[in-house]
Amino acid sequence: MLILGIETSCDETAAALVEDGAILSNVISSQIDLHARYGGVVPEIASRKHVEAIGYVIREAFDTARRRPSQIDGIAVSARYGLIGSLVVGVAAAKSLAYALKVPLVGTHHIEGHIFAPILSHPGIPMPHVCLTVSGGHTMLVHVKGPCRYEVMGNTVDDAAGEAFDKIAKFLDIGFPGGPAIDRLALKGSRTAFDLPRPLVRSRSLDFSFSGLKTCVVNMFRDRPPEGLPLPDVAASFQEAVVDVLVSKALQAAERKAVSAISVTGGVSSNRRLGEAFQEACGRRGLAVFFPLPDLRTDNAAMVAAAGTARLAQGEVSGLDLNAVASAPLESLR
């Protein structure tokens, strides 16, 4: 099955062609440079830039894959979860093409796309498994019972982990997006320099909270200029606190569901220290751990095509009345 995936939920305009698990093209037009001067994604700008880019990005996805629109068997689009003005652009493009080409359309959940990134990267990944999906918009532990069958085990009660990275980086004035900036700076620092809290790490709940940790870092600078503390040490200690919590909760979730594998996905799964810590912890417990291929860690459309392929294979099709929804529970798709 040759599926066109479309992703516009935040600040990446993306289109991909995936055929029976093989990625033929994966085109991403990033708006990062446009938003960097504001220190965060400006929804209105994001939406307008998607309108400008979407046609070119879809065309490039076909050109790179050396396929024609008439050859596709279906279209999958991120229709739920994200910035509403951004989502509607991808949904409108997907509906127009599905109508013109007379092919089935399927709306997917953005987080479901992230869950499919490690599945697309490692076809042998065991089912069921536990997935930690962690990005700028969400931090979630999901029991993946089978393709498109999910139980959410934990969620953030305030900031997403990536959002905490972005806000701390903005506060320290070290760049946008904050995750990669902190990741780089932390390489030069000591992760034990500051003893920061590990929020909810001892609680039985699998929920996360990163807002207090963020405040704690900001308070360390109270009454002193940012250069008053060694920034690489602050970055490394903050990163270590986030990584400890993410690894510890994912291991608890895996133990509770007695699964043999964990997948880690979403933008924050690019973090070097997170990768290292998961390999160490899972290695000690005999658990397998799967990360997406590097290009599939942050937002992309290949993961959307993979999720859509699974939904279409189950006979699910969306009507041309498909609407973008900014906030919808993952389980609402079952």
Residues at the interface with Zn ion (CB under 5 A): 135, 299
Closest approach of Cβ 42 to ligand KG4, in Å? 15
Stretch that binds ligand KG4, among 57-65, 171-179, 194-202, 326-334 (CB under 6 A): 171-179
Nearer to Zn ion, 10 or 61 (CB): 10
Strands 288-290 and 261-265, sheet pairing: parallel
Q: Which element (helix H / strand E) includes 83?
A: none
Point out which residues pair with 106 in neighbouring strands.
76
- Residue 271 sits in the site that holds ligand KG4 (CB under 6 A): yes
Helix axes 110-121, 302-313, angle to 10 degrees: 90
- Residue 5 sits in the site that holds ligand KG4 (CB under 6 A): no
Closest approach of Cβ 58 to ligand KG4, in Å? 20
Closest approach of Cβ 214 to ligand KG4, in Å? 13
- Residue 240 sits in the site that holds ligand KG4 (CB under 6 A): no
Range 10-69, binding ligand KG4 (CB under 6 A): 10
Range 108-167, binding ligand KG4 (CB under 6 A): 135-137, 162-163, 165-166
Contacts with 40 (C-beta within 8 Å, 6 or more apart), sequence order: 166, 170, 176
- Of 90, 118, 266, 292, the one binding ligand KG4 (CB under 6 A) is 266
Contacts with 272 (C-beta within 8 Å, 6 or more apart), sequence order: 183, 187
User: 179 is in the binding site of which of Zn ion, ligand KG4, none (Cβ under 5 to 8 A by kind)?
Assistant: ligand KG4
Contacts with 282 (C-beta within 8 Å, 6 or more apart), sequence order: 251, 262, 288, 289
CB 144 within 8 Å of CB 131: yes
User: 98 is in the binding site of which of Zn ion, ligand KG4, none (Cβ under 5 to 8 A by kind)?
Assistant: none
Closest approach of Cβ 37 to Zn ion, in Å? 22
User: 29 is in the binding site of which of Zn ion, ligand KG4, none (Cβ under 5 to 8 A by kind)?
Assistant: none
- Residue 183 sits in the site that holds ligand KG4 (CB under 6 A): yes
Distance CA 131, CA 150 (A): 10
Closest C-alpha among 119, 60, 96, 109 to residue 264: 119
| DSSP letters for 48-68 | HHHHHHHHHHHHHHHHHHT--
Range 190-229, binding ligand KG4 (CB under 6 A): none
- Residue 299 sits in the site that holds ligand KG4 (CB under 6 A): yes
CA contacts within 13 A on the Cβ side of 64:
17
User: 233 is in the binding site of which of ligand KG4, Zn ion, none (Cβ under 5 to 8 A by kind)?
Assistant: none
Strands 12-19 and 22-30, sheet pairing: antiparallel
Residues within the interface to ligand KG4 (CB under 6 A): 10, 135-137, 162-163, 165-166, 177-180, 183, 266-268, 270-271, 298-299
